[in-house]
């Protein structure tokens, strides 16, 4: 098995990133990437040597200070000052798995040879990645416009032996880790600080991490929804292919097909029903879950484009002999996509909580709150409260961040995306969805017990057998938060093949 991923000009796919993460692969620059980086740096060195005209961010100040010319002997200090002064992040620490993705995506973007960085700068970022030396980055501080300036400044600080890193579970001073590995601080050359700080790798890393998790949770929403349908004695007709072929949204068709596959061979779904219709939270699973799937596909397309792009500024075009200051750092495409993902994932939680509510309501022969002796036992009354509380929090978090903007940098940066805020809000929503689905699984597993001796499909029965090995049937009241924690862990550990996640 190949344990190294080579950074090259090939399109970086979401499935490739998932594979890199799952197999804990090392990363390495391909020969073509090395050549691109070195050619661009050599070109920039010659350009600076042979001309004195101002080039933004290379021999000028930054932002509203773009008209201040900097002398050649101060260019290294200019870049180091940029990194230090922009490291203004506050708030919670960014999770390590997201920081590691930031390193990977920054290396990918710099490898295209339009950023003017030194090869040794990129190699040091790779050293951090491969040795699990993760810079301490904070969640607050980026406007998602002139790149993710503050988070990326924290990502870059260890290159110059500043700031802190997490290594082997402990926060350490960067200079101590440099000494431990016998590394010398990088002497940043012209343009490098800007190349490291301009870019969308904070938003992109969050987006990729959340997409991978969202695809997994989309699958689980279908599976857990199917178990709830069985437990509620639901009908199969709403999942008939004919219904969906006359309204052929891809996600809707896929959801109905998946549910039919989950229920194949079930005695429960085939038994005679006394009711004509099910509530929308069951009957409209294909339409609601399917719309989320279609959203995931759109968001996937946006982030796939972004992680295979150059997002710093200015951009250097060696073949055309051009250095162009533009706006590829602006996070508007990501901000809109992240807001869309927020809404779509929040809806999975919304409809899940409604199924939970139906299961505990004492309908269709199920005991009230899914427990014997209700009254003496409160049973599954309060887990529904918890789910409802989380759903309400998600509604607040799902309000779009991208419709906001604020003026910064003395008016030079007068429109910003707020994509970084969308990213951190989306992180909370997606992890909240895992909690809600866990509560639904807890309820559905309990409810389907009361349908015995009738059985569900072989697939669902096998899945529930694995689950019940971790979380057993509840006969009387006990401490419920432990059951929810165990269920979250079960869902998080249940591995779904890549082809199920990303097809």
- pLDDT tens track of the chain, all 503 residues? 679 999 998 999 999 999 999 899 999 999 999 999 999 999 999 988 887 777 776 777 666 566 666 667 777 788 899 999 999 999 999 999 999 999 999 999 999 999 999 999 999 999 999 999 999 999 999 999 888 999 999 999 999 999 999 999 999 999 999 999 999 999 999 899 999 999 999 999 999 999 999 999 999 999 999 999 999 999 999 999 999 999 999 999 999 999 999 999 999 999 999 999 999 999 999 999 999 999 999 999 999 999 999 999 999 999 999 999 999 999 999 999 999 999 999 999 999 999 999 999 999 999 999 998 877 888 899 999 999 999 999 999 999 999 998 888 777 788 889 999 999 999 999 999 999 999 999 999 999 999 999 999 999 999 999 999 999 999 988 999 999 999 999 998 886 654 456 65
Are the C-beta atoms of residues 419 and 152 closer than 8 Å to each other? no
**Strand 164-167 relative to strand 134-135: parallel, antiparallel, unpaired?**
antiparallel
Cα separation of 92 and 48, whole Å? Answer: 40
Bridge partners of 295, per DSSP, are none
Cα separation of 420 and 336, whole Å? Answer: 11
Are the C-beta atoms of residues 155 and 94 closer than 8 Å to each other? no
* Largest interatomic CA distance in the chain: 87
DSSP annotation of 299 reads H
Q: pLDDT value at position 40?
A: 97
Number of Cβ within a 10 Å radius of residue 133: 23
Short-list 31, 38, 23, 39, CA closest to 7: 31
What CATH number is associated with residue 212?
A: 1.20.200.10
What CATH number is associated with residue 118?
A: 1.10.275.10
Q: Do the domain assignments include residue 435?
A: yes
**Residue in the structure block whose two tokens are 């990213």:** 423
Q: Do the domain assignments include residue 315?
A: no
Q: How is residue 400 written in tokens? A: 């779009």
**Strand 138-140 relative to strand 322-324: parallel, antiparallel, unpaired?**
unpaired
Domain limit, last residue, from 164, 199, 234: 199
Check whether residue 141 and residue 212 sit in a common domain: no
Catalytic site includes residue 56: yes
Residue 331: left (phi > 0), alpha (psi -120 to 50), or beta? alpha
Q: Do the domain assignments include residue 354?
A: yes
Check whether residue 163 and residue 233 sit in a common domain: no
Check whether residue 117 and residue 215 sit in a common domain: no
* 10-23 as b/e: b if 16+ CB within 10 A: eebebeebbebbee
Q: How is residue 367 written in tokens? A: 């005991």
Put simply, whether the predicted model's pTM sits higher than 0.85 gets the answer: yes
Q: Is 26 helix (H, G, I), strand (E, B) or coil?
A: strand
Q: Do the domain assignments include residue 43?
A: yes
Short-list 321, 251, 309, 256, CA closest to 282: 256
Check whether residue 123 and residue 221 sit in a common domain: no
| Phi, psi torsion values for 60, nearest 5 degrees | -130, 170
Cα separation of 438 and 445, whole Å? Answer: 10
Domain limit, last residue, from 180, 199, 218: 199
Cα separation of 274 and 267, whole Å? Answer: 15
Q: pLDDT value at position 495?
A: 66
Outline where DSSP puts E strands in 315-387: 315-317, 322-324
Of the residues 43, 56, 167, 206, which is catalytic?
56
Check whether residue 362 and residue 420 sit in a common domain: yes
**Strand 26-29 relative to strand 4-7: parallel, antiparallel, unpaired?**
parallel
Check whether residue 346 and residue 466 sit in a common domain: yes
Q: Is the C-alpha dihedral spanning 319, 320, 321, 323 positive or negative?
A: negative
Check whether residue 85 and residue 187 sit in a common domain: yes
Cα separation of 214 and 341, whole Å? Answer: 9
Are the C-beta atoms of residues 58 and 74 closer than 8 Å to each other? no
Check whether residue 371 and residue 431 sit in a common domain: yes
Q: Is 139 helix (H, G, I), strand (E, B) or coil?
A: strand
Check whether residue 161 and residue 280 sit in a common domain: no
Q: Do the domain assignments include residue 316?
A: no
Quote the domain boundaries for residue 397: 206-310+321-502
Residues ≥6 apart with Cβ < 8 Å to 332: 402, 417, 419
Q: What is the dihedral of CA 33, 38, 44, 46, to 10 degrees?
A: -150
Check whether residue 409 and residue 341 sit in a common domain: yes
Number of Cβ within a 10 Å radius of residue 28: 16
Helices (H), 24-74: 31-50
Are the C-beta atoms of residues 205 and 101 closer than 8 Å to each other? yes
Q: Do the domain assignments include residue 271?
A: yes
Check whether residue 246 and residue 181 sit in a common domain: no
Number of Cβ within a 10 Å radius of residue 132: 14
Looking at the structure of the chain, the number of domains it has is 2
Residues ≥6 apart with Cβ < 8 Å to 198: 57, 146, 147, 149, 152, 311, 312, 313, 329
Q: Do the domain assignments include residue 282?
A: yes
Domain limit, last residue, from 153, 177, 199: 199
Cα separation of 329 and 310, whole Å? Answer: 8
Q: pLDDT value at position 498?
A: 47
Are the C-beta atoms of residues 217 and 177 closer than 8 Å to each other? no
Q: Do the domain assignments include residue 475?
A: yes
Check whether residue 330 and residue 234 sit in a common domain: yes
Cα separation of 405 and 113, whole Å? Answer: 32
Short-list 82, 77, 46, CA closest to 63: 82
């Amino acid at each position: 098995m190949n344990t190294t991923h080579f950074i090259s000009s090939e399109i970086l796919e979401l499935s490739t990133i998932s594979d890199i993460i799952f197999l804990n692969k090392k990363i390495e620059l391909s020969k073509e990437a090395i050549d691109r980086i070195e050619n661009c740096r050599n070109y920039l060195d010659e350009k600076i040597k042979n001309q004195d005209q101002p080039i933004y961010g290379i021999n000028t100040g930054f932002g509203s200070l773009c008209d201040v010319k900097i002398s050649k002997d101060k260019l290294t200090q200019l870049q180091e000052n940029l990194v230090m002064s922009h490291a203004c992040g506050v708030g919670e620490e960014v999770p390590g798995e997201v920081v590691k993705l930031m390193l990977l995506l920054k290396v990918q973007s710099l490898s295209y040879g339009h950023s003017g960085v030194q090869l040794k700068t990129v190699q040091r970022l790779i050293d951090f990645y491969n040795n699990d030396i993760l810079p301490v980055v904070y969640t607050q501080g980026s406007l998602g416009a002139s790149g993710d300036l503050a988070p990326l400044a924290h990502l870059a600080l260890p290159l110059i032996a500043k700031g802190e890193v997490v290594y082997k579970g402990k926060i350490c001073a960067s200079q101590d880790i440099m000494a431990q590995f016998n590394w010398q601080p990088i002497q940043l050359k012209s343009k490098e600080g800007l190349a490291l700080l301009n870019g969308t790798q904070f938003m992109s890393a969050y987006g990729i991490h959340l997409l991978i998790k969202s695809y997994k949770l989309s699958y689980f929403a279908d599976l857990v929804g199917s178990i709830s349908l069985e437990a509620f004695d639901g009908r199969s007709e709403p999942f008939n292919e004919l219904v969906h072929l006359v309204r052929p949204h891809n996600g809707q068709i896929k959801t109905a097909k998946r549910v039919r596959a989950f229920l194949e061979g079930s005695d429960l779904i085939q038994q005679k029903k006394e009711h004509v219709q099910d509530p929308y939270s069951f009957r409209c699973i294909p339409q609601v879950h399917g719309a989320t799937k279609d959203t995931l596909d759109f968001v996937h397309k946006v982030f796939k484009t972004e992680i295979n792009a150059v997002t710093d500024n200015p951009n250097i075009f060696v073949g055309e002999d051009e250095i162009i200051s533009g706006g590829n750092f602006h996070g508007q495409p990501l901000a809109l996509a992240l807001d869309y993902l927020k809404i779509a994932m929040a809806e999975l939680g919304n409809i899940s909580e409604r199924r939970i509510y139906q299961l505990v309501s004492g309908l269709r022969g199920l005991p009230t709150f899914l427990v014997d002796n209700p009254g003496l036992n409160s049973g599954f009354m309060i887990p529904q409260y918890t789910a409802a509380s989380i759903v309400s929090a998600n509604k607040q978090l799902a309000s779009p961040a991208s419709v906001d903007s604020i003026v910064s940098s003395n008016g030079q940066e007068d429109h910003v995306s707020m994509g970084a805020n969308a990213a951190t809000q989306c992180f909370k929503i997606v992890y909240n969805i895992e909690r809600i689905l866990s509560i639904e699984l807890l309820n559905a597993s309990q409810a389907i017990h009361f349908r015995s001796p009738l059985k569900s499909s072989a697939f669902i029965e096998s899945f529930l057998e694995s689950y019940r090995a971790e979380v057993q049937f509840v006969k009387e009241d006990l401490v419920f938060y432990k059951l929810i924690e165990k269920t979250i862990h079960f869902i998080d550990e249940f591995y779904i093949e890549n082809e199920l996640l990303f097809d």
